[in-house]
Chain A
Amino acid sequence: MILTLEGISKRFGALTALAGLDLAVAEGEFLALLGASGSGKSTLLRIVAGFEEPDAGRVLIAGRDMAGLPPRLRPCAMMFQSYALFPHMSVHDNIAYGLRRAGQYDPRRVEELLALVGLSGLGARRPQQLSGGQQQRVALARALARRPPLLLLDEPLAALDAGLRAATGAELRRLQRETGTSFVMVTHDQQEALALADRIAILEGGRIAQIGPPQEVYARPASRFVAEFLGAANILATPAGPAALRPENIRIDPAGAWRARILARSFRGDAWALECALPDGQRLRVLRPACEPVPEEGADVTLAWEEAALVPLPA
């Protein structure tokens, strides 16, 4: 394990940010920590990096207890949310900063890193002369300069335009594979987490509600919170107890068993998002491919789904 967290707790005044959180991250793994804002995910990164001390619990990086070690002595690197590039230094000097502190400065290594992130030839620029996407890659190169075994990324894509995010995310994934570095990424964007990570961990109430590969967490949410947070599942009351039902698993089928009325429909380009009401008043979100014909708002339809699509949840 490159990172092991044991029973991490942290309070800020009356607010509990983390409540006995346990987590283990393997070498070379890309883990996404997903949580709503205020769920303590950034606090967790700051504790691992050494900017905050936990009230209780242990942080182990590569098996070594980090207690009392300041950030500069910890073998991990952090990529900050707003990149925190030094505005008074060139891109080259930003990337060289960590190397110089360690007495490992070598201009060739900086050139190598610039090439790695596709910014060759831009070393003399100031960060503010670069686009947002380029700044993001400088921050990444700076964090990777000393080949840390573990990289902490705080919302690495949040400051980018929507159009840039997918491409930059893929780039992040490629660099993670190429360098073999373990990534722990904090995000509030479920699409980002599902697309990039080997495993995702969902934070709720200062603890990890569920952890696992994206497909598994998506398909088998362990709790109502996870089901609703990830993919906005419908929660149905069944005789066996509550169950989650994904919007895309509901069909419009004349032979269906469930009569419903379409209250609202909105076109998303690749899909239709429908808001339907069952006769008993329960609302259902339904997602249908754009190529499928969908009745007008106010139309009565019948819906159907496979029994296997229902995921039982703890009551």
Chain B
Amino acid sequence: MSRLILALGLLFLWAPVLLMVVFAFSDARQPFVWGGFSLRWFAALAANQRLQEAALLSVGIAAGAAALATLVGLAIGWVLARHGRFAGRPAFGVLAAAPLVLPEVVTGLGLLFLFVLMERHLGWPEGRSALTILLAHASLGAAYVAVVVQARLASLGRVLEDAAADLGAGPATVFRTITLPLLAPALAAGFALAFLLSLDDVVLASFTGGPGATTLPVLLFSQLRLGPTPEAHALATLMLAALALIGAGVLWLAGRRSGALPLLPADDPPQHGRYTGDAMLRPTCDAS
């Protein structure tokens, strides 16, 4: 029963996407009308300079925003997991999680207002540009990275860092040789998440981007308001093919190593096996 619904749900998710792929190869000018096999829409895509520029800009913004989000999210997640209680900790926690739940229109409007006021009073940032979109996306992405990092640090506990310090490592060495390698899967997952969020965003980019900085989703959205085009089908087909290849490759590699999904928050490494499981969960200080 539940497997039947799973199949139906998959059908619901895939039907529109598969139809797009099929009709991407149709010669007809109308979307979802079969006019014989043709690659004309792929050719149109290859000739569409505006779309390519927007795609390039989007990928650039996504890469920059994801890198910045990973750095900042690491710092925020670190503070949340390792700094214990400090003055302002409740406010810090609320602000760290806020981008996850704020409606996009509110975040977008607020960031735009902020950038406008800053430009007026500080002279920076100059106008709406790729930079302002990047900052907006990094702000959103950092919140997601922080969640992943905090969860990973909490599940690791401090005992490995304590052990390294006991063996003579200073704080920077502990971070470089112990914390960072153990956080690497979480950081990679956070980076991927921030990258995809940025690549998929219409609302923040519409508010914080200007006429000179139109990302791919914003361009597609504005074209779609005027009506669908088979060119979009060709683009979706290409993206699907590329992502399916990447996804299958990642899954195949992961399957060879452990069978865990790399993009989902990773399980703890099996060091907490049968012998150490309960002990790791116990507080390190028996009096606290």
Most central of B159, B169, B282, B287 by chain A CB within 10 Å: B287
Contact B170–A83 (Cβ < 8 Å) = no
Q: Which residues of B contact A72 (CB under 8 A)?
A: 165-170
Contact B160–A84 (Cβ < 8 Å) = yes
Residue in B closest to A37 when the chains form the complex, CB atoms: B286
| CB contact under 8 A between A135 and B276, given known A43-B286, A71-B162, A88-B181 | yes
Distance of A78 Cα from B273 Cα, bound (Å)? 21
Distance of A42 Cα from B282 Cα, bound (Å)? 12
Q: Which residues of B contact A159 (CB under 8 A)?
A: 275-276, 279
Residue in A closest to B158 when the chains form the complex, CB atoms: A51
The tally of residues in A whose CB lies under 8 Å from a CB in B reads 48
| CB contact under 8 A between A51 and B167, given known A46-B284, A81-B282 | no
Q: Does B163 belong to the interface (CB within 8 Å)? A: yes
Q: Which residues of A contact B271 (CB under 8 A)?
A: 85, 87, 127-128
Contact A12–B288 (Cβ < 8 Å) = yes
- The contact string, 1 if C-beta is below 8 Å from chain A, for chain B 258-288, is 0000000000011111111001101011111
Q: Does A146 belong to the interface (CB within 8 Å)? A: yes
Distance of A308 Cα from B288 Cα, bound (Å)? 42
Q: Which of B119-165 contact A (CB under 8 A)?
A: 159-160, 162-165
Q: Which of A19-37 contact B (CB under 8 A)?
A: 37
- The contact string, 1 if C-beta is below 8 Å from chain B, for chain A 227-243, is 00000000000000000
Contact B168–A128 (Cβ < 8 Å) = no
Q: Does B30 belong to the interface (CB within 8 Å)? A: no
Smallest beta-carbon distance A203→chain B, Å: 10
- The contact string, 1 if C-beta is below 8 Å from chain B, for chain A 37-64, is 1111111001001111000000000000
| Interface of B, helix, strand, loop or mixed by DSSP | loop
Q: Which residues of B contact A52 (CB under 8 A)?
A: 285
Return the contact of B285 from the options A46, A84, A97, A142 (Cβ within 8 A).
A46
Distance of A76 Cα from B276 Cα, bound (Å)? 24
Contact B162–A84 (Cβ < 8 Å) = yes
Smallest beta-carbon distance A208→chain B, Å: 15
Distance of A44 Cα from B276 Cα, bound (Å)? 22
Smallest beta-carbon distance A46→chain B, Å: 6
Q: Does A82 belong to the interface (CB within 8 Å)? A: yes
| CB contact under 8 A between A80 and B159, given known A40-B286, A43-B285, A72-B169 | yes
Q: Does B178 belong to the interface (CB within 8 Å)? A: yes
Distance of A159 Cα from B280 Cα, bound (Å)? 10
The tally of residues in B whose CB lies under 8 Å from a CB in A reads 32
Most central of A15, A40, A78, A82 by chain B CB within 10 Å: A82
Distance of A83 Cα from B160 Cα, bound (Å)? 9
Q: Which residues of B contact A132 (CB under 8 A)?
A: 273-276
Q: Which residues of A contact B282 (CB under 8 A)?
A: 81
Return the contact of A77 from the options B162, B166, B276 (Cβ within 8 A).
B166
Q: Does A102 belong to the interface (CB within 8 Å)? A: yes
Q: Which of A100-138 contact B (CB under 8 A)?
A: 101-102, 127-128, 131-132, 135
| CB contact under 8 A between A71 and B279, given known A12-B287, A42-B285, A132-B274 | no
Q: Which residues of A contact B178 (CB under 8 A)?
A: 86
Q: Does B182 belong to the interface (CB within 8 Å)? A: yes
Residue in A closest to B273 when the chains form the complex, CB atoms: A128
| CB contact under 8 A between A38 and B287, given known A80-B159, A84-B160, A98-B167 | yes
Contact A15–B167 (Cβ < 8 Å) = no
Q: Which residues of A contact B222 (CB under 8 A)?
A: none
Q: Which residues of B contact A87 (CB under 8 A)?
A: 182, 269-271
Contact A12–B285 (Cβ < 8 Å) = yes
Q: Which residues of B contact A86 (CB under 8 A)?
A: 160, 163-164, 178
Residue in A closest to B165 when the chains form the complex, CB atoms: A71
Return the contact of B166 from the options A49, A81, A85, A135 (Cβ within 8 A).
A49
Return the contact of B163 from the options A37, A50, A84 (Cβ within 8 A).
A84
Q: Which residues of A contact B276 (CB under 8 A)?
A: 82-83, 132, 135, 159
Q: Does B173 belong to the interface (CB within 8 Å)? A: yes
Distance of A15 Cα from B272 Cα, bound (Å)? 30
Most central of A40, A142, A159 by chain B CB within 10 Å: A159
Contact A70–B165 (Cβ < 8 Å) = yes
Residue in A closest to B169 when the chains form the complex, CB atoms: A101
Q: Which residues of A contact B269 (CB under 8 A)?
A: 87-88, 128
Residue in B closest to A16 when the chains form the complex, CB atoms: B287
Return the contact of A51 from the options B162, B182, B280, B286 (Cβ within 8 A).
B162
Q: Which of B154-203 contact A (CB under 8 A)?
A: 159-160, 162-170, 173, 177-178, 181-182
| CB contact under 8 A between A81 and B164, given known A43-B287, A87-B182 | no
Binding site for A on B (CB under 8 A): 159-160, 162-170, 173, 177-178, 181-182, 269-276, 279-280, 282, 284-288
Binding site for B on A (CB under 8 A): 10, 12, 15, 17-18, 37-43, 46, 49-52, 70-72, 77-78, 80-88, 97-98, 101-102, 127-128, 131-132, 135, 142-143, 145-146, 155, 158-160
Q: List 7 A-B contacts (CB under 8 A).
A: A42-B285, A49-B166, A51-B166, A80-B162, A97-B177, A102-B168, A145-B167
